Structure 1
Amino acid sequence: MTRTVVVTGGGTGIGRAVAACFAHHGDAVVITGRRGETLRSVAAELGQGVRASVCDGTDPDQVAEFAGGLESVDVLVNCAGGNTDWDRPEPADLRALAASWRANLEANLTTAVLMTEALRDRLAPGGTVVNIGSIAADKGAGSYGASKAALNSWNVELAGRLGPRGVTANVVSPGYIADTEFFRDRLSEQREKALVAATSTGRAGTPADVAGTIEFLASGAARHITGQVIAVNGGALTTR
């Protein structure tokens, strides 16, 4: 049966890999983001089953308009986000500091909350919500890490609300993932080596590693997994 899959931030990196994974299995995929040209290029590359829709996930009106165009959604993957501090100078005063923190909270938490809430009544029974977290939520990384920690906490409440309809809600928390826009070519060779050395697997993660985990969480085999944070970090941060 063909499912409808929505992937926010689907134009690059992990989001693109997730869209490609579901499209490969014949699902109808809608990718969203702010860059129309990028989205349309990816949709054309991935095939007829993928549709692009420009939507700024921090804008309630745009999110509501996007959601209104969908009848039913089987899988929602909230990939939109990133560390907005990469593009910001060190805050010079409290106003700048507040703006920095709000930007990361909007990008990484608000986008997921708005899109999930807008589509909540359209989520098909037995459906799946996956939110992309980060190892930074546990290792600390200023406003970015805090925004991802908040995402983890919100997901617990979300899982409780969606559970009675058989809809699962989980966070997939990547470690260092190569070949994405996240570090925007600013990662030094020394830092990259250190991140790889911190893993047990001795390699960087790939977008496909994350996409494969999400594919499983959306499968019939994962219907009793909800309210969890699933780490995909090669052992860089372990749990017990």
Structure 2
Amino acid sequence: MTHTVLVTGGTSGIGRAIAAAFAADGAEVFVTGRGPETVGQAAKELEVHGVVCDGTDAGQVASLAARFDTLDVLVNAAGGLTRPPAEGASLDEVLAVWQANLAQNLISAVLTTAAVQDRFTDGASVISIGSIGAERGGGAYGASKAALAAWNATLSAQLAPRGVTCNVISAGYIAGTNFFQGKMTDERHQALVEETHDKRPGAVEDIAATAHFLASSGARHITGQTLHVNGGAYTTR
């Protein structure tokens, strides 16, 4: 039976790699993004369904949810980094930065999950993409990702009785994405690699493989968790 998978923010980076992994496994995959051109290009290249949707817009999210009768996997990969306000910024500028980070990294996941949760099948999975920044004082971005993990714990308690697992993948430094918006230097790259135990940057495929596992039958008793995929740059025990 073909699984139905929805990957928000699936047009680039981690989201795109996750969509590709599920598509390669024969799933019917839907990816979302805010730009019609990027959505169309990703859908064509990955041979998946593309939907233009801003996950912070309740009306657009409701329209997205209406496309599904049932849903087996939801991956909340939409998000991004809004740069901190400059020194001496006005309160309005500070507010705008915090609201943008919370909207992109938390509210989009909350709205999308709330919109589709009645369509989850028994054995469905919700996977949200977090960040090592949640553990490292990452300003508004880190705070929004920490809030994502806190929300996930509550979501798991709500949905687990229905057989739905809910987990966060907390990604460390992942090379080859546009997260740093062209501002990654060789020195910064090397410093981030040196923090790891395995002395390599993460790849989008590392996160995609973890997401694919969390949606598998072998992960049915894993829920309410934050899984750190960072090569040892941040360790738990």
- The TM tier, using the shorter chain, reads over 0.9
The one-letter code sitting in structure 2 at the alignment partner of 1:172 is I
On the 8 A contact 1:177/1:207 being kept in 2, the answer is yes
Which ranges in structure 1 are unaligned for 5 or more consecutive residues? none
CA offsets per residue over residues 149-191 of structure 1, 9 Å max, x none?
Answer: 0001000000000001100000000000011111111011111
Find out whether 1:172 has 2:166 as its counterpart: no
Query: Aligned runs of 1:62-211 on 2, under 5 Å?
Result: 62-85=60-83, 89-90=86-87, 92-211=89-208
Scaled by the length of structure 2, the TM-score of the pair is 0.98
On the 8 A contact 1:91/1:100 being kept in 2, the answer is no
Q: Distance in 1 between matches of 2:181 and 2:155?
A: 31
Find out whether 1:2 has 2:2 as its counterpart: yes
The one-letter code sitting in structure 2 at the alignment partner of 1:238 is T
Give the corresponding residue for 1:28. Answer: 28
| RMSD, matched Cα | 1.0
Moved >6 Å (runs of 4+): none
Find out whether 1:38 has 2:35 as its counterpart: no
Give the corresponding residue for 1:238. Answer: 235
2:224 to 191, 205, 227: 227
CA offsets per residue over residues 47-97 of structure 1, 9 Å max, x none?
Answer: 2xx1000000000000001101211110000000011127x6556111110
Percent of pairs identical after alignment?
54
1:53 to 51, 54, 57: 51
On the 8 A contact 1:91/1:97 being kept in 2, the answer is no
User: How big is the shift at 1:125?
Assistant: 1.0
Which ranges in structure 2 are unaligned for 5 or more consecutive residues? none
Scaled by the length of structure 1, the TM-score of the pair is 0.97
